[in-house]
Structures are given as C-alpha cells and as structure tokens.
Amino acid sequence: MYLTGDREFETWDSTFINDTSFNIRTAIENWMNAMNNLEDNTGLANVSDYTSNVLIKQLGRDNVILKTYTLINCMPTVIAPIDLSMETASAIEEFAVTWRYTHFTTSGI
C-alpha cells in the first residue's frame, strides 16, 4: 500500500550527442569511475562527493525555456555504449545515460 510521503522517483534517462573529443562522455565516465574505480573497486564514500544537482531546461521550438527541473543529489548509474556498426555510418553518434536522484524541484509549482 502506498501512503503520502512515501515517494519514489524513477530513474531519468538522457541522450547525448557525442562530440569528436568525447568531452561529455569522458566527464561522465570519470564521474562514474570516481564513485567506483574499475581497477581496484574503491571509490568515494561521502554522498556529497559523488552526487551533484543537475539542472534540466525543457525548451520550446523557439528555444525559449518552458520548464526547468533540478535533480537533487543526482549521479549517473548507467552509460550506454555507442553503436559502432556500419549500418549507422551516416548517423550522429549518441549515447544514453541513466541518472538516479533523491528528489527534484521544478519551476511552475
């Protein structure tokens, strides 16, 4: 049974367009590696050291901000691989990131 005050928040998925220098992907990989190092299974222990507030701006077709969301205590949990098949040779490289957060704030409420 669900009660008011027992709120759960689903993960949030975002898609990034990869640049030729991999700036965004590398930053997220470094963030995830700081949380749990791939080589020695160590990582940051203090939640405030590996989470951040993430600001999302939803834009209209004319680039005007329609609504903003701030994901509080946010961290990446999954970074998807970049599809490198010949079938996507003419497509722009994209990758998805799944985020976990404790709660959010939003404009307009």
* pLDDT at residue 1, as a whole number: 58
* pLDDT at residue 69, as a whole number: 95
Q: Which tokens in the block code for residue 1?
A: 């049974």
Question: Cα–Cα distance between 95 and 92 in angstroms, integer?
Answer: 10
pLDDT tens string for the chain (109 positions)? 566 777 788 999 999 999 999 999 999 999 999 999 989 999 998 999 999 999 999 999 999 999 999 999 999 999 999 987 777 677 788 999 999 999 999 986 6
- pTM for the whole structure: 0.83
